[in-house]
């Protein structure tokens, strides 16, 4: 198997260990899948994960930063992302989330990625989770 087809786990130093057997990101060839990220602040070794704050804005911005960190660690940028999946805990947050999301990507070069938004249950205190699929060329 060539190195370009080897599956490689992506684990940024700023991310705590996942709570189960999965990787924060996986790259295989030109495909990079970022696992669902939440709005946890970067944590020191052995420190419990802490949400960026109680608001949707705080958690969304930190979640996007966490996704970006995995993308960059895997050699990608937001411009390489072809699909974003958003998981919200409250249907009432949809419009506010869109405003935050649009402002975050206001300066993105090229067309935006595709996006799906669904409503889910997350651990207490968490409002949003985001994953992304990037294709590098």
Assign residue 15 the CATH number of its domain: 3.30.1330.40
Q: How far apart are CA 118 and CA 53, in angstroms?
A: 22
Please report which residue ranges of the chain form alpha helices under DSSP H.
Answer: 56-73, 94-104
In total, how many domains does the chain have?
Answer: 1
Query: Would you place residue 2 in the very low, low, confident or very high pLDDT band (cuts 50, 70, 90)?
Result: low
**Residues 6+ away with beta carbon under 8 Å from 102:** none
pTM, entire model: 0.93
Q: What is the mean pLDDT of residues 41-69?
A: 91
Q: How far apart are CA 27 and CA 104, in angstroms?
A: 25
CB 32 within 8 A of CB 50: no
Query: Would you place residue 45 in the very low, low, confident or very high pLDDT band (cuts 50, 70, 90)?
Result: low
Choice among 18-32, 89-103, 120-134 with the minimum mean pLDDT:
18-32
Given CA atoms 78, 84, 90, 92 in this order, what sign does their dihedral have? Answer: positive
Domain that holds residue 30: 3-135
pLDDT score, position 1:
43
Phi and psi at residue 78, in whole multiples of 5°?
Answer: -55, -35
The answer on pLDDT for 3 being more than 60 is: no
* Chain segment 58-100, per-residue pLDDT in tens: 999 999 999 999 999 999 999 999 999 999 999 999 999 999 9
């Amino acid at each position: 198997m060539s190195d370009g087809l080897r599956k490689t786990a992506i684990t940024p130093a700023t991310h705590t260990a996942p709570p189960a057997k999965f990787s924060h990101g996986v790259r295989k060839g030109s495909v990079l899948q970022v696992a669902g990220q939440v709005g946890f602040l970067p944590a020191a070794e052995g420190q419990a994960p802490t949400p960026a704050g109680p608001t949707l804005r705080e958690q969304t911005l930190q979640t996007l930063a966490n996704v970006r960190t995995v993308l960059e660690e895997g050699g990608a940028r937001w411009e390489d992302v072809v699909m974003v999946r958003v998981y919200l805990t409250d249907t009432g947050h949809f419009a506010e989330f869109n405003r935050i999301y649009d402002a975050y990507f206001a300066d993105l070069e090229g067309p935006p990625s595709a996006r799906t938004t669904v409503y889910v249950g997350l651990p207490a205190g968490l409002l949003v989770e985001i994953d992304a699929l990037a294709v590098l060329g």
